[in-house]
Amino acid sequence: MTYRIAGLTGSQGATSTCRTLVEMAMTRITRSHDAIGAIYDLADLQPSLGQADSIGALAPLSRAILETALSADLLIVGVPARRGSYPGLFKHVFDLTRHQPLAGKPVLLTASVDEDAEALMVEHQLRLLFAALGADPLPAAIIAGPRDIPQDGAISHRLRARMNHALDQLDPRLALHRGPIAHAA
């Protein structure tokens, strides 16, 4: 069975560190599993996201992207942690959803941080958000600071170990949550 994976980042563009983390995880998962995937950024849901009060109020393309992400077998989320939190617009995406689309869905949490202390945001805010939505966040998150992905693109041993640890927890959760087969957008 082909797994469908969706990545959703809390960044506004395709050149962010959190996007890089989601891409790295997506690449590893699609290479090691029978999986297809797509990654979306907050910018892909604009301009209607900020004004929407439900999924139905989104523009048709934004709605299709969000529905694709919510129906995936695995959701990889990536957020920039700044000043102890993640972007409010990212939270708004999940305020638009109902609990059912995420019930039991495995979610891999990733975050880019400027300082190590900001990594606490993942445990104290991001994990709680997805648990409250009924999702199944993987126990280990992938967190990267500025020294984990230098300008030359090589990743640190610390980041490589974090990614391996998080992805080792994936197989049992994917086996539990098998969604219907569909083509990724």
> According to the model, what pLDDT value does residue 9 have?
95
* CA 164 – CA 47 distance, rounded (Å): 36
- pLDDT per residue of the chain (185 residues) written in tens, 0 to 9: 789 999 999 987 667 888 999 999 999 999 988 899 999 999 999 999 999 999 999 999 999 999 999 999 999 999 998 888 888 999 999 999 876 789 889 999 999 988 777 888 888 899 999 999 999 999 999 999 888 877 676 888 999 999 999 998 887 777 666 544 333 33
CA distance 26 to 38: 8
Q: Output the pTM of the full model.
A: 0.90
CA dist 41 and 14 (Å) reads 7
